[in-house]
Amino acid sequence: MTTDAATAVAHPNIALIKYWGKRDEEWMIPAVDSLSLTLDVFPTTTTVRLAPAGQPDRVLLDGRPAEGEIEKRVLVFLDMLRARTGRREAAVVDTRNTVPTGAGLASSASGFAALAAAGAAAFGLDAGPAALSRLARRGSVSAARSIFGGWAICHAGSGSGAEADLGSFAEPIAAPDFDPALVIVVLNAGPKAVSSRAGMRRTTETSPLYRAWADAGRADLAEMRTALARADLDQVGEIAERNALGMHATMLAARPAVRYLSAATLTVLDAVLALRAAGTSAYATMDAGPNVKILCSRTDAALVADEMRAAAPGCRVLTAHRGPGVRLEAVR
């Protein structure tokens, strides 16, 4: 029997300073700070409906029972909500994604941000934005940033365990004059072969390049904040591109290598370089998948999209902009 339900909508975000690697897996504490833009495309809508204690939890993804790792992560999240609130009810989680799940298109960011907001409301947890961001982080670190609209920075904090939990959350950063476009080139929307969780674990444990990238990331972040405040597209783009390529270099040096970039990814990267050589400010970033997101001005977005369609025939291209933070839609 239904006792209580809440629905929330969240959007994915794309990091321009990447998070890769955890300091504490149990508490989901990132090893590095990150900075991202929440988008206005691919929302996730999640309803959490409480059910009588003793019933099994149920997880539905796009109307079908979720399986494997996805189901497990949601069940762990529900256990955490019960532990935090002292409540015993079971829950039915109904999630609708408009983004392909697990394809490096940030479905876990929008998914766990929506689950955190809907779950907190359904279980009666009174959480302000920072607390909600910490909660979302327990599902997926990138989800901590999708609590907020526009630009957000996620702090790695210090220490480990419960102490680190308090210091690791996202918060919005002001960049009122910087409102670029992000052209998303979807080369393969299928689920990735190596989950980001497994990929980052292998990278931090075995890649001799990981520490150097993490150290460089601190300087990247400081420079990025200045470039954002100045609304300097070329500077923001240069820093974002080198930070992303550096992250993929750490993975390529892992043993065995973790490689998300495909031949088509490199073709698109060549097309981005060609655009720049021809005078268009366009910069690429890639996550745990082959797809490429290209930062450019709003006025250049149509040109960039056309060039990418020509470079990688058959790919799907769409243009995103700054989007909203998580929104609680209905509480019953």
**Is residue 44 at the binding interface for ligand PMV, with CB under 6 A as the rule?**
no
Distances (CA, A) of 35 to 14, 15, 156: 8, 5, 11
Helix (H) or strand (E) holding 211: helix 210-229
Nearest to 166 by CA among 158, 178, 175, 176: 158
d(CA 71, CA 50): 17
Amino acid at 183: V
x/- track of binding to ligand PMV for residues 67-106 (CB under 6 A): ----------------------------------------
Rounded to 5 degrees, φ, ψ at 232 are -95, 95
CB of 8 to ligand PMV, least distance (A): 18
User: Which range in 18-26, 184-192, 249-257, 265-273 contacts ligand PMV by CB under 6 A?
Assistant: 18-26
**Is residue 19 at the binding interface for ligand PMV, with CB under 6 A as the rule?**
yes
d(CA 4, CA 82): 14
User: Which range in 11-19, 86-94, 206-214, 231-239 contacts ligand PMV by CB under 6 A?
Assistant: 11-19
Choosing from 20, 77, 123, 283, the residue that interacts with ligand PMV (CB under 6 A) is: 20
**Is residue 220 at the binding interface for ligand PMV, with CB under 6 A as the rule?**
no
Nearest to 103 by CA among 12, 190, 42, 199: 190
Within residues 185-214, the interface with ligand PMV by CB under 6 A covers 196-197
**Is residue 250 at the binding interface for ligand PMV, with CB under 6 A as the rule?**
no
For residues 205 and 306, which CB has a smaller minimum distance to ligand PMV in the complex?
Answer: 205
For residues 5 and 187, which CB has a smaller minimum distance to ligand PMV in the complex?
Answer: 187
Q: Strands across the sheet with 13-17, in order?
A: 13-17, 34-38, 151-154, 170-172
**Is residue 18 at the binding interface for ligand PMV, with CB under 6 A as the rule?**
yes
User: Which range in 15-23, 85-93, 117-125, 212-220 contacts ligand PMV by CB under 6 A?
Assistant: 15-23
User: Which range in 14-22, 88-96, 211-219, 308-316 contacts ligand PMV by CB under 6 A?
Assistant: 14-22
d(CA 19, CA 61): 26
Distances (CA, A) of 187 to 31, 100, 159, 292, 318: 29, 12, 39, 8, 12
User: Which range in 17-25, 37-45, 182-190, 308-316 contacts ligand PMV by CB under 6 A?
Assistant: 17-25
The DSSP-derived string for 244-265 is HHHHHHHHHTSSS------HHH
**Is residue 141 at the binding interface for ligand PMV, with CB under 6 A as the rule?**
yes
CB of 33 to ligand PMV, least distance (A): 10
Q: How many other CB atoms sit within 10 Å of the CB of residue 34?
A: 25
**Is residue 165 at the binding interface for ligand PMV, with CB under 6 A as the rule?**
no
d(CA 282, CA 272): 6
CB of 280 to ligand PMV, least distance (A): 25
d(CA 313, CA 23): 40
**Is residue 133 at the binding interface for ligand PMV, with CB under 6 A as the rule?**
no
CB of 288 to ligand PMV, least distance (A): 4
What number of chain residues touch ligand PMV (CB under 6 A)? 14
x/- track of binding to ligand PMV for residues 277-296 (CB under 6 A): ----------xx--------
Q: Could you tell me which residues come within 8 angstroms of residue 172 by beta carbon, excluding any fewer than 6 positions away?
A: 148, 149, 150, 151, 152, 325
Contact positions vs ligand PMV (CB under 6 A):
15, 18-20, 34, 108-109, 140-142, 196-197, 287-288
